[in-house]
Chain A
Amino acid sequence: DSGVTQTPKHLITATGQRVTLRCSPRSGDLSVYWYQQSLDQGLQFLIQYYNGEERAKGNILERFSAQQFPDLHSELNLSSLELGDSALYFCASSVRPETTHEQYFGPGTRLTVT
């Protein structure tokens, strides 16, 4: 158990819908990262937050957005869902990126768009 929690574990929804994925980092971790794992794209970085502020952005679609709240939990919002958005979405956390090496991953949320 990495200490990072993600909810829900599974999500099945229809095209065009909007969903919210939630992540609670390990206690004390200030930085949260979101990754998408799909069969065709592999594991891709989406976005990073550090202590409530956006720190880095990867291949995140405009239909996707994220935020980190004062209690440090983070949410990833996916809207106008398409079949190709079906993937495993991971949240990872680290204390301070510049002083720690590893990112601890949550169990992931498996999103299926039908």
Chain B
Amino acid sequence: AQKITQTQPGMFVQEKEAVTLDCTYDTSDPSYGLFWYKQPSSGEMIFLIYQGSYDQQNATEGRYSLNFQKARKSANLVISASQLGDSAMYFCAMREGLGDYKLSFGAGTTVTVRA
């Protein structure tokens, strides 16, 4: 079964607007972590934000915030005030448990920011 689901293959957003990227996850482990990575066309993977399963507050990092809804098993990424440089592929990932630190990735969402 798919552990991370990203249902939006591609999105367009106007510069300076906010965009929400959806991510749902599936785990029975009470301890897990959720990550978002950005992959520009150059190919590197850039860490954006992290949310732990026991964290009470939604994570924020600059223009990135994570809308964590534990009961719904969703961890949506919100990018505020979009910039042209935000055009990239975005991946949601999960780490489960305390003894195994591999990341399971979703299929990704391509974001294109329009001027």
Interfacial residues, chain A to chain B (CB-CB below 8 A): 2, 31, 33, 35, 42-45, 48, 55-56, 58, 88, 90, 92, 94, 97-98, 101-108, 110
Contacts and interface: CB of A to CB of B under 8 A. Distances in A.
B44 A31 contact: no
B47 A104 contact: yes
What is the predominant secondary structure among interface residues of chain A facing chain B?
strand
A103 B103 contact: yes
Nearest to B42: A107
Interface in B82-107: 91, 93, 98, 100-107
Given A101-B35, A101-B50, A102-B35, A108 B101 contact: no
Given A42-B108, A107-B44, 16 more contacts: A2-B44, A33-B101, A33-B102, A35-B103, A42-B105, A42-B106, A43-B91, A43-B108, A48-B101, A48-B102, A98-B98, A101-B52, A105-B44, A105-B45, A107-B43, A108-B43
A102 B101 contact: no
A97 B102 CA distance: 9
B102 A56 contact: yes
A43 B35 CA distance: 14
Nearest to B93: A43
11 contacts: A43-B108, A45-B102, A48-B101, A56-B101, A94-B101, A101-B50, A103-B103, A104-B47, A105-B45, A105-B47, A106-B44
A43 B106 CA distance: 8
B64 interface: no
A88 B89 CA distance: 15
A102 B59 CA distance: 13
Contact of B44 (A55, A97, A108): A108
Contacts of A45: 102-104
B107 A42 contact: yes
